[in-house]
Structure 1
Amino acid sequence: MLYRVIINSTQKEDTLIHLLSDQEHYLRRVVRLNDGQDFIALDGKGNSWQVKLTPHGGQIINCLHENRELFSRVTLMVALPKGNGFEDIIRCATELGVNSLQPVITDRTILKPKENKLERWRKIAMEAAEQSERQIVPYISPPIPIKKALSHFGSVDISKYIAVARTNASHLLDFLLQDLSAQEIVIATGCEGGWTTEEVKSAIETGFQEISLGKRILRAVTAPIMVMALIAAVDETKHLSENLVNK
């Protein structure tokens, strides 16, 4: 196994990788790499390289062509749960393949995040992407009011869903199986207490399809993780089917 570090664009100069002090510490002190041993550097945007550790950073020896990403680009619009629940959502959703998360403030949102929270959330996404060996680091947007988020996504012609508890709407899985070719998906999940009637109405008016996540009432932290698990499972099943047809 080759250990992974995510770099920014300024750290790559031709075939050289300039490591930051914490990356150097991780590679040399935590995982005990020595000069001449290899690791993987990623830019978090789909590019990755096999790199040899040197006294002055890293030397690229090979461009890698990996693909562990989902077919569909997935954005989770998550009404912020109380406490540190959103951090758990970031970790699990990143492992399951989410591309971006848009935290939203709703009428029933309890958490009022401080400015430094965004930096912490993005660091968690980076660490989870490294751990799950992804090529993409999900983008965590600054929290915005639900009305602003609905207005933004309402103008985009993509598959859009809002998960509602105690609804007679069809299950998300039904929609996913009917729309296997969807290249981009947005799914909204509510906070403790769920969406207000007005919020659901506004979502539907801006093009969101109401969906169910099953008979049971899920916690605000559980719902977005279940959403991503379903999407990842459908994606894997689709690729397995394609491989069998091609053999």
Structure 2
Amino acid sequence: MQHFFVTPSQVEGERIYIEGSDVNHMKNVLRMRPGEAVAISDGDNLKYRCVVEGYEEGRAVLAIQQRMPVDTELPCRIILFQGLPKQDKMELIVQKAVELGASQVVPVATRRSVVKLDEKKAAKKLQRWQQIAESAAKQAGRGYIPQVSSVLSYQEALEKAGELDVLLIPYELAEGMEEARKVVASIAQGQSVGIFIGPEGGFEKEEVDAAIRQGAKAITLGRRILRTETAGLAILSILMFRLEG
């Protein structure tokens, strides 16, 4: 079943009105006809099962058949602070992080980040990453579209992370799997969690020390060295399994 997002203002009584580019996608790409089923999320903890009723000037009209609370969100708000990787790896990271339940992805310029984005390139990349987040949210049946923030410096990222309850920084020099298990097991439903992942080459020790001073726990993800595009998804998978239900 196709899945679309609306705002609560687009829900009027027993009808939902789809607007913007989604109308063309429904009508001319997917060729959805009256009577076809559609899943809708309103970004405000409600999802709907609808059928296409028809098309008006510039919008699609859906008839609501069923209202349900959203049950696809994790009980913790998880923000992935991702060191900027090379090439198009960020696209994969955003896609999979959204599928695994991340509430936000924050690209971070660290000391070992090879990629340097000027303002124009950063805006274009951000637009692309947000489109990928929306597509992944639709595919995963998320209740809302997670945000991909603008690129932050490492210090800006630490300041933002200071608002969260739990900070984790997987680090290849961290030791003690038992301690890592205890840290993950201590995370409670309702807490906010930040995960810091380094770029290719990892974090410099000074960056790890700065995160620890901010309250982060340095943990190991095992004896194997994981690529930057793997490490964040590994810890997100662990947290999803730990917190789900």
| Distance of 2:8 and 2:106 partners within structure 1 | 24
Give the secondary-structure state (helix, strand or coil) at the position aligned to 1:216: coil
Deviation string, structure 1 residues 227-246 (Cα, Å, up to 9, x no partner) = 1111111123xx3xxxxxxx
| 1:64-110 deviation per Cα after TM superposition (whole angstroms, max 9, x unaligned) | 22301111111111111111111100111111111111111011111
For 1:25-174, what aligned pairs fall within 5 Å after superposition? 25-53=24-52, 54-56=54-56, 57-61=60-64, 62-113=66-117, 114=121, 115-154=123-162, 156=163, 158-170=165-177, 172-174=180-182
1:187 is matched with 195
Does the 8 A contact of 1:28 with 1:34 survive in 2?
Answer: yes
2:19 maps to 20
Calculate the TM-score normalised by the size of structure 1.
Answer: 0.86
Q: 1:178–1:46: structure 2 CA closer, same or farther, 3 Å change rule?
A: same
Q: What is the RMSD of the two structures over their aligned residues, measured on CA atoms?
A: 2.1
**Cα distance in structure 1, aligned partners of 2:127 and 2:11:** 23
- 1:161 and 1:209 in contact (8 A); partners too: yes
CA distance in 2, matches of 1:141, 1:198: 24
d(CA) in 1 for partners of 2:6 and 2:70?
17
Question: Secondary structure of the equivalent of 1:39?
Answer: strand
Listed as ranges, the gaps of 5+ residues in structure 2 are none
User: Residue 3 of structure 1 aligns to which amino acid in structure 2?
Assistant: Q
Structure 1 residue corresponding to 2:238, chosen from 230, 235, 242: 230
Amino acid at match of 2:168: Y
TM-score (norm 2): 0.87
Maintained 8 Å contact 1:74/1:100: yes
Worse overlay, 109-118 or 96-105:
109-118
State the identity %. Answer: 28
How many residues align? The count is 235
User: What is the rounded CA distance, in whole Å, between the counterparts of 2:153 and 2:38 in structure 1?
Assistant: 41
